[in-house]
């Protein structure tokens, strides 16, 4: 059983690297097998299709991201620090897994109820209630403008996710290759933090 777990983990790590570098369309099962140090037959034993492997990787990545974001939303820290942590975590995960938004959109379009039930637990409402309460508290104290916590969170997430969803078009418009796009996203991370905090500051 330990060997099975080790082999499967090697496959997942290799596939994550290949999907990250080549994207879903450019990734090949043979290349993933070679990077994992196994033959293609063994790869297909664990994951019958590229779709199944893609789903396994990005389901795990999504669950990690959701777990981290929820823990940040519940922290008892100043709002500006919470904004920094949310942006850092979200951007960091998407830069490591740029195909994640595509996976989420595809799964939502296929079966939204099943996808939500699988990845979003009941405690997510409590976490967002905590975040909204912290936003309201700072607004009532006069440290930030009056703003709805849900709207603030959606604004942040929209600014983070859109460049990854529209990446092909954005790279054409900016005339950037993959390495340049990554550098732009690193700069954008700091821009988003400043933009959001400047927008809500009194």
Domain CATH for 89: 1.10.357.10
114 and 178 co-located in one domain = yes
Domain that holds residue 116: 50-200
31 and 105 co-located in one domain = no
**Given this model, what pLDDT does residue 60 score?**
82
43 and 88 co-located in one domain = no
**Given this model, what pLDDT does residue 5 score?**
67
Alpha helices in the chain (DSSP H): 2-26, 29-36, 40-46, 50-73, 79-96, 100-110, 112-119, 123-140, 149-165, 167-174, 178-200
40 and 69 co-located in one domain = no
Find the distance separating the first CA and the last CA of the chain, reported in whole Å: 58
pLDDT tens, the chain, 202 aa long: 445 668 998 999 899 888 877 777 888 999 999 999 999 999 999 999 998 898 888 788 888 888 888 889 888 899 999 999 999 999 998 888 887 887 788 778 888 888 778 777 767 888 888 899 999 999 999 999 999 999 999 999 999 999 998 988 999 999 999 889 989 999 999 999 999 999 999 9
The number of domains in the chain is 2
56 and 156 co-located in one domain = yes
67 and 25 co-located in one domain = no
d(CA 79, CA 44): 47
The 8 Å CB, 24+ separation contacts for 136-144 are: 138/78, 138/79, 142/202, 143/79, 143/202, 144/79, 144/200, 144/201, 144/202
Tell me the pLDDT tens digit for each residue of 48-86: 999 889 888 878 888 888 888 888 988 889 999 999 999
80 and 164 co-located in one domain = yes
101 and 124 co-located in one domain = yes
**Given this model, what pLDDT does residue 40 score?**
93
61 and 86 co-located in one domain = yes
161 and 128 co-located in one domain = yes
144 and 194 co-located in one domain = yes
Q: Write the CATH number for 41.
A: 1.10.10.60
99 and 177 co-located in one domain = yes
**Given this model, what pLDDT does residue 51 score?**
87
């Amino acid at each position: 059983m330990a060997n099975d777990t080790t082999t499967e983990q090697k496959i997942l790590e290799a596939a994550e690297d290949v999907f990250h570098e080549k994207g879903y369309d450019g990734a090949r099962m043979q290349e993933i097998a070679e990077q994992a140090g196994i033959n293609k037959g063994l790869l297909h034993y664990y994951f019958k299709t590229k779709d199944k492997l893609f789903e396994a990787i990005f389901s795990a990545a999504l669950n990690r991201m959701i777990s981290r974001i929820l823990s940040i939303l519940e922290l008892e820290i100043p709002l500006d620090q919470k904004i920094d942590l949310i942006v850092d975590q979200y951007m960091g995960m998407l830069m490591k897994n740029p195909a994640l938004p595509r996976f989420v959109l595809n799964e939502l379009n296929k079966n939204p109820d099943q996808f939500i039930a699988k990845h979003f637990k009941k405690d997510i409402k409590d976490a967002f209630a905590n975040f909204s309460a912290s936003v309201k508290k700072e607004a009532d104290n006069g440290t930030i403008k009056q703003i709805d916590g849900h709207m603030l969170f959606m604004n942040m997430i929209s600014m983070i996710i859109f460049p990854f969803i529209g990446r092909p078009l954005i790279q054409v418009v900016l005339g950037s290759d993959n390495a340049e796009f990554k550098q732009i996203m690193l700069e954008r991370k700091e821009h988003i933090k400043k933009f959001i905090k400047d927008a809500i500051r009194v």
